[in-house]
Structure 1
Amino acid sequence: MGKSQKKKSMRRHNPMRVPDSHLPKGLASASETSSKAEAILPIIQKMEGTDAAERKWACVAVSNLIQNDPSTRRLLQGKNIVGALITRLTDSEEEVVIEAVGALRNLCIDGGYDICAEMYNKSVLVPLRTFVPKISATLSQYLDGPKNAPENAQKLVCEFADNVITILWCLSETSNKALTAINEMKLIPFLMSFLAAPEKIPLPPITAAAQCLYVLTDDNYPAIADVRSDSGYITCLMAVINPDENLPNGKSPEANPRAVTLRVLAAGILRNVSPIPPPSAASAIDIDKDICLPQLQPVLASISLADASASVLQLVAQQTSLPDVEKLSLKNTPKSDHKSPVEIELERLEGRLRTVQLALEILTGACATLPDPDPDIPPGQNDEDDEGDEDIAEEDADDETPDIDMAIDDASPDSNTPAQTLPALVAPLLALIQPTTLSFPPLAAPSPHPPTTSALSAIHLAALECLNNIFLPLVRGGPADAVGGRAVWDSVWAALGAVGTQTGLGQERRRAVWEVAAGVLWGVASVCRGTLEPKPEQVQALMALCDGAAADAQLRVKCIGALESLAQNPAFVDANATIAAYLLSMLPTGSAPSPAGTEPMLQAASSLIDIYSDEDAPWDANFRTGGFLAQLAGSIDGVKKAVRAIDRRKEGGRELRRRGEEVRDNLAAFVEYRRGLGL
C-alpha cells in the first residue's frame, strides 16, 4: 500500500501541458472564453482551399493560435481541425505536409489524451507509416554525406523527424490499441538510428527519439525484446549515459539542458529493458545502483523551483503577444515553431522542469518494492502468472503497516548502497515537494504561464511518490533515525499547508498531492510510532481527507493508518481518545453497516486492535472509561456480515476477503482477550 507503483491504465508520462479541466464543456463556452474565435473560420476555409500558400498559412496559424490557449484549442477541435490536418498529411505540396505535421505535434503536446485519441481514431497512423521509411532513407543519405543528400534533407532529418516521432511518442501513451498499432510498425531500429549518430544530428530529434523509446519500452514486451535483441543498441545507450563521450554535437552537458534530458532518458530506457541479457557487458551492471542513481541524483539537486518560478514570472512580464492571425502575411508566414527570445527561454525552463519530473518518475520506479514482471513475459504467456502476481501485490497492499522498503537494496543484496546516498536523495526531494507561487494558482487568478504551472505541480506530485518509496531507511532502526522521520513529517505538512484545500474544476492537482502525501504520512507515522505529536489541526486534516474520500477506499485506509500511529504517543492521551472515537464511528453497529465502506472499516478495526493491544499503555484508560469493549463486541456481527458480502470475483476481491477474515477473527479474539482481563 505504501509504495507508489506504475499505473498501467494511465500510460502518459507527461500530463496535459496546458490543463483545461477548469473550462466549461461545449463549443459555446469555448467560443465565449476564446479571444480568437473569429479567426477559426478563415483558418478552416484556407486549409481546405486550392492555394498551397494558404493551406500552409492555415497550418501555421493553428500552431500559433493554440499556444497556451486551451479555449481556442477546444474551439478548433469542435471544427474538426484534427481531421483537416490529417487530410493535409497527404497534400501534394511538401511544405504543407511539414507544417501540418508540426501543427499536429503541437496539438498532441498541448492537448493530451483526448486529441491523441481523436488522431488515432481518424487514422493518423496511416500517413505516418509512410513517413518513417522516407525519413530513414533521407537520414541514411544525410549521414553518408550531406552534400549528396536531397536539398531538404536537413529539414526532414531535424524538424520533420522530430515532429513525426513526437506524435508517435504521444500516441503510444494514449491507449493499448494505439500502442499495439505502433508496435506493428517496428520502430526500434528507426529510433535507434538517431541515437547512434550524435555527432551528425542535432539534439532535438535525438531527444524525441529517446522519449519515444522510453515510452515504448515501458511495460511493453515487443519493444523491450527488440532493444534487447541487438547488443549494439545497449552499447549505444551506454554511450549516451557516459557524459564524457559521444555527447551530441560535442557539447558538454551543462551547455545544453537537452543533453541532460537525453542521458536521463537513456537511463530510463536501460532500466525499462533490464535485465540486459549477455553477451552485452551491461548485463553485469546493476542498472539502478550504477546507472540510475548516479544519473538522477544530480538532476534532482540541479534546480531551485522557487528560482525557476520567479524567472518565469519575470519572463512573462516581458513577453510580447504572438502575431495576430489577421496580420500574418502569406509571403512571410512564420514557421509553426516561430518563437520569440522570451518564449525560447520559457521553453528552456519548462524543459528543465520536465527533465526533473522524468528523473523523479524513473527514480520512483527504481525504488518500488515490487519489480514489474511484465517486460520479461512474452505475450500470451502471462495470464496465469498475472493472477499470482496480483495476489502478491494485493497481499502487500493489505499489510497493517505500509511496506515501503527501499527496493534498490533488495535488488542488490550483495552490494550495499552507500549510506550517504539516501540523505542526499531525500534533501532535494523535500525541497521539490514545496510549492511555489506558480504551482497551484487559485481558480480566480489563473496561471500566467500554464505550462510551467503544470510542470511544477507534476514535480511536487512525483517527488512525493518518490519520497514515499525511499525515506524508510532514514528513519528505521532507532530514536536517532526518528529525528529524520519527524523532519520528513514536518516538511510534508508544510507543503500541504502551502498547497491548500481548494477544490473544483482546475484544482485536481491539489487533491492528487494530498492523496499521495497521505501515503507518505502513513509511512512516516508508522516508523516514528509514539514519537510524533498528534497536533489537533493535523489530526482533523487527516479525518477531513478521509471523510472526503468516500469513493477512494485506498486513500481512506492510508489516513486511518496514519491516525493509528498518531494515537500511540503516551504524552497525548486526549488525542488518542479523539482518534479512537473517530475510528469507532466507522464500525458497523447492530444492523447498520459501516458508513465508511468495507475496506476502511476493516482497517479501522485492525487499528483499534493495535492501539489497545497493550492494556498497560497510558492511553488504555480511554478504552476502559469510554466503553470501547462493548462497542467492539457490538460490531462483530456487522464485520462478519460485511466480510461475507465481499465479492471474490471482483478485482482484488479474493485478497480483500482474506484480509477481512483475518480482521474478523482478530477482532473476536481481541474482544475475548479484553473481557478476560476483567479491567
Structure 2
Amino acid sequence: ALSVFPQLQHPSAEVREYACASISQVLQQKQVIPAFVQRDVVRCLGPLLMDHSLAVRETAAGALRNLSACGGFDVCDEMVTNDVMTPLVALLKECSTGLDANQLSPKKCRGMNKNYIEDIANEAINLLWNICECNNTALYIFNKEGCLEAVLNYMKKFATNVDLAISVANCLQAVTEDNPDLLSSFNASAQQILEMVMLCPESSMKHILLRTLIAGTIWNIKDTIPPGSLGSTVNAILKIFSESLAIDAGETIIHMNEAEKNRLKLAVEAETEENMSDTTENCVLSEDDNMEEIPKGKLRRESDVSDLLPSDKWELKEVTALLTAQQTALEIIVNMCCSE
C-alpha cells in the first residue's frame, strides 16, 4: 500500500480518491501504522482535505479518521504535530457553510442517494472527535478557532441524518469534558439546539443513543445553566438515562436477529427470481470487475471503508447503538454520583 503514495498527487481525482481509499483500508491494521507515519502520511493526506474533488476530501478524511482511531494517543499527537488541525478546521467550517447554503453534491443532484457535504462532515467530525479526545493542543485549537459553532450547525441535521448527529454528539461530549474555556461559547442559541435534540420523540436505538450523548454533554456544561433551571435540567437528563436503561438489551438482540434473518431471506428469494438475461449481464459485469482498471462504480464502493460496521447491517447498528447508549448512561451516572 505504500506504493500508492505517489498517486495521492496524481492529476486525476479518481486516482487520488482510489489512493486515499486504499490507504484508508490498510490503516485499519495497527501493525502497518508506524510505517505509514514514517512516510509522513499525515502531511500527504492533510492537504487533500481541501481537494477540489469532494470525493477525494471524503476518502482523505476517512483515511485520517482510521489513522486516528487505530493509531492511539501517540499517533494522534503526531497528527497534531504535523498540523492536521489546520486543514481539518478549514474543512469543517467550509462544510458548515455548505449546509447553510443547502449545497448538494453533483451526484445528489443527479438523483443518487449521496450527499457529499454531510458525508464529508461525518468523516471530519469523527476525526476531530478522536484527536480532541487524545490531545490537549487539538482541544485548545478547537476552542481558539471557534469550532463549536460549526459543529453545532451539523447537529441541526439530526432530523434527517441521525448518523451525522451521533458523530457530532460524540464529539461534543468529548470536547466539553473538563474544558472550562469552552463554556462561555455555549450561549442560549447553542443550548437551544441541544435541548431540541433531547426532546426528539423518535424511538429508534440510534435516537436513544443520540439523546443519551446530548444529555451527557449538557451535564458537562451544567455550570452554564441558570440555577433556577438546573433542577429541571438534571431531571430531564436522568429521564433520558432511565429510558435508555429500561430497554431489555437481550430481547432487542433476539428481535433484531430475527429481523435480519427475515431480511436476508427476502433478499435471497428476490435474487432467485432474476431471469437468465440478468444473470448473463451480471456475469459480464463480474468479469469486468476483475480487470486491472478500476471501474468508477467499484471505486465508490471500495472507498467506503472507514465505518467499522457494514453499511447494510442496520440491525447490528441498532443493537450497537443501544448497548453504547446504555454503557454511556451508566458511565455518566457514575460521574454524577462520584467526584474525582
Q: TM-score range by the shorter chain?
A: 0.7 to 0.9
Aligned to 1:337: 304
* Percent of aligned pairs with the same amino acid: 24
Aligned to 2:25: 64
Q: 1:179 and 1:307 mapped to 2: Cα distance?
A: 37
Among 160, 174, 184, the residue aligned to 1:225: 184
Asked whether the 8 Å contact 2:7–2:19 carries over to 1, the reply is yes
Q: 1:336 and 1:126 mapped to 2: Cα distance?
A: 24
Aligned to 1:162: 122
Offset of residue 157 of structure 1: 3.3
- Secondary structure of 1:173's counterpart equals helix
Aligned to 1:240: 197
Asked whether the 8 Å contact 1:88–1:96 carries over to 2, the reply is yes
Asked whether the 8 Å contact 1:172–1:179 carries over to 2, the reply is yes
Aligned to 2:334: 364
Offset of residue 231 of structure 1: 1.7
Q: 1:81 and 1:165 mapped to 2: Cα distance?
A: 19
- Map 1:366-445; keep pairs closer than 5 Å: 366-368=336-338, 370=339
Instruction: Give a deviation string over 1:595-617, Cα, whole Å, max 9, x none.
Output: xxxxxxxxxxxxxxxxxxxxxxx
Aligned to 1:299: 244
- Map 1:116-195; keep pairs closer than 5 Å: 116-142=76-102, 151=106, 155-195=115-155
Asked whether the 8 Å contact 1:165–1:212 carries over to 2, the reply is yes
Where relative contact order (Cα < 8 A, 6+ residues apart) is larger, the structure is 2
- The one-letter code matched in structure 2 to 1:219 is D
Are residues 1:99 and 2:59 paired?
yes
Aligned to 1:283: 229
Asked whether the 8 Å contact 2:105–2:116 carries over to 1, the reply is no
Are residues 1:259 and 2:207 paired?
yes
Structure 2 gaps of 5+ residues are 109-113, 265-288
Q: 1:274 and 1:226 mapped to 2: Cα distance?
A: 13
- The one-letter code matched in structure 2 to 1:64 is Q
Asked whether the 8 Å contact 2:198–2:214 carries over to 1, the reply is yes
Asked whether the 8 Å contact 1:53–1:330 carries over to 2, the reply is no
Shift in alpha-carbon separation, 1:210–1:329, aligned structure 2, 3 A: same
Aligned to 2:221: 273
TM-score computed with the length of structure 1 as normaliser:
0.40
Shift in alpha-carbon separation, 1:349–1:329, aligned structure 2, 3 A: farther
Offset of residue 152 of structure 1: 6.5
Shift in alpha-carbon separation, 1:253–1:157, aligned structure 2, 3 A: farther
- The one-letter code matched in structure 2 to 1:268 is G
Shift in alpha-carbon separation, 1:293–1:85, aligned structure 2, 3 A: same
Offset of residue 180 of structure 1: 0.7
Shift in alpha-carbon separation, 1:86–1:232, aligned structure 2, 3 A: closer
- The one-letter code matched in structure 1 to 2:163 is P
Offset of residue 93 of structure 1: 3.5
Instruction: Give a deviation string over 1:305-342, Cα, whole Å, max 9, x none.
Output: 79869x99xx9xx9xxxxx9997825331253257566
Instruction: Give a deviation string over 1:425-462, Cα, whole Å, max 9, x none.
Output: xxxxxxxxxxxxxxxxxxxxxxxxxxxxxxxxxxxxxx
Offset of residue 172 of structure 1: 1.2
- Secondary structure of 2:83's counterpart equals coil
- The one-letter code matched in structure 2 to 1:337 is D
Q: 2:47 and 2:161 mapped to 1: Cα distance?
A: 29
Asked whether the 8 Å contact 2:59–2:303 carries over to 1, the reply is yes
Structural RMSD (CA): 3.4
Q: 1:223 and 1:73 mapped to 2: Cα distance?
A: 33
Asked whether the 8 Å contact 1:138–1:156 carries over to 2, the reply is no
Q: 1:107 and 1:151 mapped to 2: Cα distance?
A: 28
Task: Kindly name which structure, 1 or 2, has the bigger radius of gyration based on alpha carbons.
Answer: 1
- Map 1:428-507; keep pairs closer than 5 Å: none
List 4+ stretches of structure 1 deviating above 6 A. 324-328
Matched positions, count:
300
Asked whether the 8 Å contact 1:135–1:156 carries over to 2, the reply is no
Asked whether the 8 Å contact 2:55–2:116 carries over to 1, the reply is no
Asked whether the 8 Å contact 2:17–2:56 carries over to 1, the reply is yes
Among 142, 156, 167, the residue aligned to 1:196: 156
Asked whether the 8 Å contact 1:217–1:269 carries over to 2, the reply is yes
Aligned to 1:53: 14
Are residues 1:208 and 2:180 paired?
no
Q: 2:151 and 2:163 mapped to 1: Cα distance?
A: 13
Shift in alpha-carbon separation, 1:364–1:101, aligned structure 2, 3 A: same
- The one-letter code matched in structure 1 to 2:210 is L
Asked whether the 8 Å contact 2:169–2:210 carries over to 1, the reply is yes
Offset of residue 353 of structure 1: 2.9
Asked whether the 8 Å contact 2:76–2:135 carries over to 1, the reply is no
- Map 1:311-350; keep pairs closer than 5 Å: 329-331=294-296, 332-333=298-299, 334-337=301-304, 340=310, 345-350=315-320
Structure 1 gaps of 5+ residues are 1-39, 245-251, 319-323, 371-392, 394-679
Instruction: Give a deviation string over 1:396-426, Cα, whole Å, max 9, x none.
Output: xxxxxxxxxxxxxxxxxxxxxxxxxxxxxxx
